[in-house]
Structure 1
Amino acid sequence: MSIAKKEKAASTILLGRPKGTLKMGLVGLPNVGKSTTFNFLSKLSVPAENYPFCTLEPNLARISVPDEHFDNLCRIYQPKSQVSATLSIMDIAGLVKGAHKGEGLGNSFLSHIQQVDGIFHVVRAFDEDNIVHSEGAVNPVNDLQIIYDELRLKDLDRCQKLYDDMKKLVDRGQNKNLAGPFEMLQTFLNHLKSGNWISNRTNWSLKEVEALNDYCFLTAKPVIYLVNMNIKDYLRKKNKYLVKIHEWVEKNMRGPIIPYSADYEKTLIEDPASLQEHVSAVQKIILTGYSTLQLIHFYTTGKDEVKCWTIREGTKAPQAAGVIHTDMEKGFICAEVTKYDDLIELGSEQAVKNAGKVATKGRDYIVQNRDIMFFKFNPAKNKK
């Protein structure tokens, strides 16, 4: 990458909260397999019964992120403690048509979606007479559109209220500094009125992204589509609904699509011997969620502990140090950075140092995925 491109990447502001402690939420209509999916992802026992609104309060789990690089570091150091990266996933109860107006338990459920940073949208792509469908019949494209519309309409209502309140101030001339924010809010409102999600547009200006991050609109969140099929379709990699689902996503959202079978994953955990093929989608789901939130991690290593620390892409060294402890960010001096590939190739920390491949980085260094970091800082002075 050229210097100019690096500087441009460094100046980019990501849509969403600028933190590493981000969450994905499982969202969908009732009875599409969200709670069953949450169960096998987290291996926690939460209700997954066959009736709408079984999940009334959101369940939250922190799930280990598969990482062969972390495993290799643990083999090298043989530490007393091993702490992998995690992805937090919240199971949110089913939405129904009219949720933005309070239908079902809509207002409560939408407030839960407000708490997450990305969405696993679970869509049902199997027919089963014994499992009722809230819309009367299985129609994945219709289900996708319902969730799409409900979240957009909720944002539209909120954006309209923000716009109306700000317009009163602008019309009165009470605050001349509102001209810019008011114009941006009008842009957001028109975008939502035209039937789009905030995340549909990729060319928001940096100032617009900063404003959007303050508003935290539901439709600014990235979406991963989890297409829940029956075991037979999943194993043969064929499903009559997949083509139409792909067409809808390509036209409306362009998010990743992951076909899977909640029943297969559940059986794989409970009775793996009963399945002839072991083709789990769990790792792909977790890794896609992690990367979709634009999360990366760096390592701290030693005989006592090898640990992954999660940050967002573009995080600079002092802020990465602050993930470990706020005092390390406040008193940051520099960071000694070892590249993972160098350590694996040369075999030990000492060998990397002898080869002159430990780099000292300052405040402007943007931490890269899989960096091995050692921070130097001035300890905070105790106040008397």
Structure 2
Amino acid sequence: MPPKKQVKEEKIPLGRPGNSLKSGIVGLANVGKSTLFQAITKCSLGNPANFPYATIEPEEARVIVPDERFDWLCQQYKPKSEVPANLTVYDIAGLTRGASTGAGLGNAFLSHIRAVDAIFQVVRCFDDAEIIHVEGDVDPVRDLDIISEELRIKDIEFVEKAHENLTKQTRRGGQSLEMKKLKEEQATVEKILEHLKAGKDVRKGEWSPKEVEVINPLFLLTAKPVVYLVNLSEKDYIRQKNKNLPKIAAWIKEHAEGDPIIPISVSFEERLTRFETDAEVAKECESLGTKSALPKVIITMRKALKLASFFTTGTDEVRQWTIREGTKAPQAAGVIHTDFEKTFIQVIVYNYTALKEEGDEATVKAKGKVMTKGKEYVVEDGDILLIKAGAAKS
């Protein structure tokens, strides 16, 4: 008898499905969130001020994703229209100790975090007597503990409510398929609760695809990917030294191993926005022997969200489209236009790497690097696509 073919269980990512994902800037009050939001989005939204809760309703803006591949394609095709990828970023009000029980802006703040898909967590490491700290002094490890605990306490509350609702339903008993499904959900919810009460974040747990299907509709705060932004003074950022950096690294290793940490100076980034041209910014950075951290921040967040890009090219337009990693060709076509997904026939594809190596489309084609693929093709980051679809039914 031939061995049974192993069916590989498809891993479902935590979080909302889809490509239009949002990131929120989160942290205690007065750590530099709104100033970072203004610097990263190059807009005057947000309300940087020296008092807690200067930001109440979250501000939203789109950030252009820096990508050398897109820049190179634009130089190559010199199109009439250039459309880069972007990332939606929210500036969320400052959290405070006790937010999970309604302190400060408490519940409003936490509901705003629920609405985003990933978190930029800003941790203050700069001393400035003029900028008050809600806890009285600068202690990033304490701040990390506060945020971590507040998010987890709120998640426990969400999960306990879900457990209560499921228990009411499973009490009815019976052997129906629906009851079996409810009992499985209840067991998963109990496992999540146990995980949270042990002081662990949901995103750091080992979950089966079935369990992820139960977790995702709960929109848990600790299930969201986190990128830690360590806000240094300009002096410390330039020399890449600060007494707190090793303590933060140790805390993340213990509580959130694998999550990215990026040192940044929000005051430096804000100062760079005052220059009128990119050339002036480059000159300033060169004179200081440093560079802006913002491109790295944006790219790291896209990776944390498991986002990738494909391109459509031509002399009319070069456009970078955003998809989730693992997206198949018909769904990628649907990002361009929903009708293309419904009427998808095939896709002609080659990767940006092949184009850059060979220099032009004709050589890529001549060397057999252009492929024709069907519905099961998984689009790779950097693919250049030509979608073939039928006429939409009216």
TM-score by length of 2: 0.92
Where does the alignment leave 5 or more consecutive residues of structure 2 unmatched? Answer: 1-6, 276-280
* Deviation for aligned residue 1:249: 0.6
Which aligned pairs between 1:127-146 and structure 2 lie closer than 5 A?
127-146=127-146
Match of 2:152 in 1: 152
One-letter code of the match for 2:262? I
Match of 1:284 in 2: 296
Match of 2:3 in 1: none
SS at match of 2:188: helix
One-letter code of the match for 1:113? I
User: Hey, what's the Cα distance between the residues in 2 that align with 1:232 and 1:72?
Assistant: 34
Deviations 1:56-78 (A, max 9, x none): 11111111111111111111111
Match of 1:209 in 2: 212
Match of 2:334 among 299, 312, 322: 322
Match of 2:16 in 1: 17
Q: Is 1:170 aligned with 2:170?
A: yes
Q: Is 1:182 aligned with 2:194?
A: no
SS at match of 2:210: helix
**Residues 348-357 or 75-84, more deviating:** 348-357
TM-score by length of 1: 0.94
Deviations 1:155-203 (A, max 9, x none): 10010011011111111226523111111111111111111110122x2
Q: Is 1:56 aligned with 2:56?
A: yes
User: Hey, what's the Cα distance between the residues in 1 that align with 2:183 and 2:264?
Assistant: 48
User: Hey, what's the Cα distance between the residues in 1 that align with 2:312 and 2:10?
Assistant: 26
Match of 2:203 in 1: 199
Match of 1:226 in 2: 229
Measured at CA, do residues 61 and 167 of structure 1 come closer, stay the same or move farther in structure 2, by a change above 3 Å? Answer: same
SS at match of 2:171: helix
Q: Is 1:248 aligned with 2:251?
A: yes
Match of 1:265 among 255, 263, 269: 269
User: Hey, what's the Cα distance between the residues in 1 that align with 2:284 and 2:263?
Assistant: 21
Deviations 1:256-281 (A, max 9, x none): 11011111111122255777314211
User: Hey, what's the Cα distance between the residues in 2 that align with 1:15 and 1:39?
Assistant: 29
SS at match of 2:273: helix
User: Hey, what's the Cα distance between the residues in 2 that align with 1:359 and 1:18?
Assistant: 28
Identity, in percent, stands at: 50
Match of 2:28 in 1: 29
One-letter code of the match for 1:24? S
One-letter code of the match for 1:161? K
User: Hey, what's the Cα distance between the residues in 2 that align with 1:230 and 1:118?
Assistant: 25
Match of 1:4 in 2: none
Match of 1:92 in 2: 92
Where does the alignment leave 5 or more consecutive residues of structure 1 unmatched? Answer: 1-6
**Residues 285-294 or 352-361, more deviating:** 352-361
User: Hey, what's the Cα distance between the residues in 1 that align with 2:379 and 2:150?
Assistant: 38
User: Hey, what's the Cα distance between the residues in 2 that align with 1:197 and 1:158?
Assistant: 14
One-letter code of the match for 1:263? S
- Size of the alignment, in residue pairs? 374
Query: How large is the Cα RMSD of the aligned pairs?
Result: 1.5
* Deviation for aligned residue 1:136: 1.2
Measured at CA, do residues 105 and 336 of structure 1 come closer, stay the same or move farther in structure 2, by a change above 3 Å? Answer: same
User: Hey, what's the Cα distance between the residues in 1 that align with 2:78 and 2:325?
Assistant: 29
Match of 2:323 in 1: 311
User: Hey, what's the Cα distance between the residues in 2 that align with 1:136 and 1:346?
Assistant: 59
* Deviation for aligned residue 1:356: 2.3
Match of 2:4 in 1: none
Match of 2:368 in 1: 356
**Residues 10-19 or 246-255, more deviating:** 10-19
One-letter code of the match for 1:252? H
One-letter code of the match for 1:374? L
SS at match of 1:372: strand
* Deviation for aligned residue 1:380: 1.0
User: Hey, what's the Cα distance between the residues in 1 that align with 2:381 and 2:16?
Assistant: 19
Match of 2:344 in 1: 332
One-letter code of the match for 2:148? Y
Q: Is 1:372 aligned with 2:384?
A: yes
- Report if the CA contact (8 A) 2:41-2:62 is conserved: yes
**Residues 337-346 or 267-276, more deviating:** 267-276
User: Hey, what's the Cα distance between the residues in 1 that align with 2:214 and 2:168?
Assistant: 19
- Report if the CA contact (8 A) 2:158-2:218 is conserved: no
SS at match of 2:120: strand
One-letter code of the match for 2:194? N
* Deviation for aligned residue 1:311: 0.5
User: Hey, what's the Cα distance between the residues in 1 that align with 2:253 and 2:373?
Assistant: 42
